Amino acid sequence: MGEAIRLTSGADGFSFGAYHAPAEDARRGGLVLIQEIFGVTDHIRELADGYAADGYETIAPSLYDRRNPGFEASYGSEDVAEGVRLSQATPWDEVAGDLAAAVAALQPPVFVAGYCWGGTATWLAACRVDGVAAASSFYGRRIPELLDETPRCPIILHFGRHDASIPMAVVEQIGEAHPDIPIHVYDAGHGFFSDRRADYSPDAARLARLRTLQLFARNGGGRSEV
């Protein structure tokens, strides 16, 4: 359904890859879909296609391309370790510049959603990137690194109550720092949105997706004739 495209970062002129899924039927808006630590995988492309079917022209940027072009990890231990390494080696300032290029490549309104490492990058985009209408962040473990920054657009956060990598104390810390931001907690673990993960929870995934689409609809994501 989608295609591979290239984007150019406004920060340093670096050219990086992305997956582009055009909106099906009437267009509701644009969506920047941010990867997990595993890169732009089949799972991310399937999610992009799903949002495109809902009317959102979707771009999933490959944010590790400077260090490992086209990186797509499996869920094996070695690939997971490489994904973690790449996520730690990729500075947030660089990520913000690349996300700005992805947002600029879409006609407004433009929304952002991301998972795992991408959940934190979604928070970053809401705080720093111009042109974001609303954002939905899924289990962003590293959001506490950016708690001194405040989102400039509506954002909702999703966490699993049984996520061993994000204790509820961390979720509470985020809520105390930003009490006006809606935080949804599900009876699930980490990665509950992904049907590739052991902690996949269909009920939690459906509800989180519904809340995400409702957020987008409230912030400009209505049907158009374009």
Exactly one of 20, 158, 163, 178 is catalytic; which is it?
163
163 included as an active-site residue: yes
- E strands, the chain, in order: 3-8, 15-21, 29-34, 56-61, 110-115, 132-138, 155-160, 183-186
* Cα end-to-end span (Å), the chain: 19
Q: Catalytic pick from 20, 43, 116, 158?
A: 116
Angstrom distance (rounded) from CA 72 to CA 63: 11
Query: Which string of DSSP letters, residue by residue, matches 4-41?
Result: EEEEE-TTT--EEEEEEEPPPSS--EEEEEE-BTTBS-
Closest CA to 153 of 135, 140, 178: 135
Q: What angle do CA 107, 111, 117 make, to 5 degrees?
A: 130
Q: Do 224 and 26 touch, CB atoms closer than 8 A?
A: yes
Q: Is 178 a catalytic residue?
A: no
Residue 190 among the catalytic residues: yes
Phi, psi dihedral angles at 210 (to 5 degrees): -60, -45
Q: Which positions are catalytic?
A: 116, 163, 190
